[in-house]
Amino acid sequence: MIEINNIHQTFILGKKQNETHLHVLNDVSLSIKEGEIVAITGKSGSGKSTLLNIIGGFMKPTSGTVHIGNTNVTTFSEGEFADYRLQNIGFIFQNFQLIPSMTAFENIELPLVLKGLNEKERKHITEQTLQKVGLLDYKSHYPSELSGGQQQRISIARTLVMEPPIILADEPTGSLDSETEADILYLIKELNQELGITFLIITHDEEVARVATKQIHIHDGRIVKEETIQ
């Protein structure tokens, strides 16, 4: 489903007369199959978040290609990738990124508004998705009225309404306690098994990595270990 070929990412720091080249990713290649849960692990600064940003289209690599399906997404303009993301890629963030002035229902509904669905369709899909993540009774609550785990479930529900085949998760349990983390990891596993969603998870947490069917370890911008979990 995702083919990453010979990705290099170099940032140029400082002025031209005294610039420094920071090599963040060095010849990274990997393959992610449909329906896998892949955990990319490594220390802070190892390049794992940069790789996620490249796959998600928020950053162009210095060289190399990313294919999603049969599409070379590295050729996309910023606008083309924004359209592509809306239909094909969902995101889960560590800090939830919910809009504080919107209820749980409104936060989840927002992508459907952007998609142009009518009010009846939006209501049906949003309530169905709230039910899936176990929070239908909290649809009128604002983010400040929800626990961290509930906010992350709302964030996941907001992603699910677009039915993305791929979800990219950046430290999805980084702001949660261990009990709530376990609940979110169970939900990710459940969504993977029931809906066939492919997950790519960036994490430094060994407990989070254990949910994966494949673990990839990055060190100093290079893949140093790749392991398939039975």
Integer-rounded Cα radius of gyration of the chain? 18
Q: Which residue has the tokens 């409104």?
A: 106
Per-residue pLDDT of the chain (230 residues; tens, 9 = 90+): 899 999 999 988 877 777 888 889 999 999 999 999 999 999 888 999 999 999 999 999 999 999 999 899 999 999 999 989 888 999 998 888 999 999 999 999 999 998 889 999 999 999 999 999 999 999 999 999 999 999 999 999 999 999 999 999 998 888 888 888 888 899 999 999 999 999 999 998 888 898 999 999 999 999 999 988 86
Fold of 35-49+85-228: Rossmann fold (3.40.50)
What does the pLDDT look like over 42-80, one tens digit per residue?
A: 988 899 999 999 999 999 999 999 999 989 999 999 999
pLDDT tens for each residue of 135-159: 999 999 999 999 999 999 999 999 9
Q: Is the dihedral of CA 118, 121, 123, 127 positive or negative?
A: negative
Phi, psi of 213 (to 5 degrees): -95, -15
Phi, psi angles (nearest 5°) of residue 145: -95, 5
Alpha helices in the chain (DSSP H): 48-55, 78-88, 104-115, 119-132, 148-160, 178-195, 206-209
- The bridge status of strand 37-41 relative to strand 214-219 is parallel
**Domain extent listing, the chain:** 35-49+85-228
